[in-house]
Structure 1
Amino acid sequence: MATITTEVATTARWDDVQHALTGGGDGASCQCIWPMLSNKEWNETTTPQRTEMLREEIQEGPPPGLIAYIDGEAAGWIRVGPRTTQRRVPRTRMIAAASTEPFEDDSVWAVTCFVVRREHRGSGITLELLRAAVDVARRSGARLIEGYPVDARGEKKRTNDLFHGTLTTFLAAGFEERAEMKPGRILVALELST
């Protein structure tokens, strides 16, 4: 059985971040910058620019995500951090309408992206990444963490449609359903200040 470990994304782990993001799907072109930009800004950037944005974000800190390793090989990624730093979250109408938390509150964090390399899908990485992200948020003083997963309802979905994570993964990590944002997309939350 493979051993899954997680580490925060740091400059020293830059090559691992890139390995995790480039194993199939949109991670290579997105560079997990989508949550950080408006639609206009996104459309005006190139993949090399997004790569440099992520590199700068990691250099400046705090780490914007975690890397999952399977037997020492970078295999997956999760973005987690205060909602206030993820500019797209409050600009997404369905999230803004569903969340009851003030968007200026730094103690509310969000999980906005998962990437798993093709050869490691189905190995339980997303749940391990999510649990590690919750631990990082808790240690960093977050009061609550939100997610915006896909409720696949047992249907097969394209991998690129699952970058928000799946509802079953969030529920397995202890999150509670708060609101249906639209059919197949649920706002979930986990209270950390207990």
Structure 2
Amino acid sequence: MVGPKRPDADVCWCLSYRVPSKENLSLHREARGERVRELMKEGPPGVLAYDGDEVVGWAGVHPRADTAFATNRKIPHVDDLAVWSVWCLRVRPGHRGKGISHALLEGAVAFAKENGAPAIEGYPVDNRGEKVDLTMAYVGTKELFMRAGFRKAADTDSVLNGFPRVLMRLDLR
């Protein structure tokens, strides 16, 4: 779900927010999958959604301190709480429009809570109901996070696909 169908393809592997930018840019092809395997030794880097035995969705979620959001200059820290971040919500083609992203976000919240997170943050786009390009929809929308009980905690200086990103937070205590 995280990697490509071809292991030699140079694609995301959901590493952009998990490793420093310089390292991310230096990893190519099979090395990207190998780096994900190394990160897996630290614990699951997210949650999966299933339709029967088939994996149909993925949400990247981990302590913010272990992500690029720990030092991101465009996305502020609203306080010093050891929050978790959810940065990627991906649903396979053919399974979209069935509420899977809602289930993924719910699963990410439960996973963070089970692992002692005091709060969880997401950094979705505020698309004001406009269509978001599918290649950029992985961050989610403000509306998706609001439906899951998150509240807007701050504006950010980050823009994705022409839409501003907002910092959404849910207290888990």
Q: Could you state the TM-score of these two structures normalised by the residue count of structure 1?
A: 0.78
Give the fraction of aligned pairs with identical amino acids, expressed as a percent: 37
- Which runs of no fewer than 5 residues in structure 2 stay unpaired? 158-162
**Count of residues in correspondence between the two structures:** 165
Residue-by-residue CA offset, 1:112-146 (whole Å, 9 max, x unaligned): 11211111111111110111111111111110111
- Report the counterpart of residue 85 of structure 1 in structure 2: 66
Note if 1:179 corresponds to 2:168: no
Label 1:22 to 1:45 Cα distance change in 2 as closer, same or farther (>3 A): closer
Aligned partners of 2:78 and 2:154 also within 8 Å: no
| Matches of 2:31 and 2:4, distance apart in 1 | 16
Of structures 1 and 2, the one with the larger relative CO (CA 8 A, separation 6+) is 1
**Greater helix content:** 1
Note if 1:34 corresponds to 2:12: no
Residue-by-residue CA offset, 1:75-99 (whole Å, 9 max, x unaligned): 110111111111x11232111xx32
Match of 1:72 among 45, 48, 53: 53
CA RMSD of aligned residues (A): 1.9
- Which runs of no fewer than 5 residues in structure 1 stay unpaired? 1-16
- Report the counterpart of residue 132 of structure 1 in structure 2: 107
1:176 is displaced (CA, Å) by: 0.3
| Matches of 1:66 and 1:22, distance apart in 2 | 17
Q: Could you state the TM-score of these two structures normalised by the residue count of structure 2?
A: 0.87
- Report the counterpart of residue 55 of structure 1 in structure 2: 37
Aligned partners of 1:31 and 1:47 also within 8 Å: no
Label 1:164 to 1:45 Cα distance change in 2 as closer, same or farther (>3 A): same
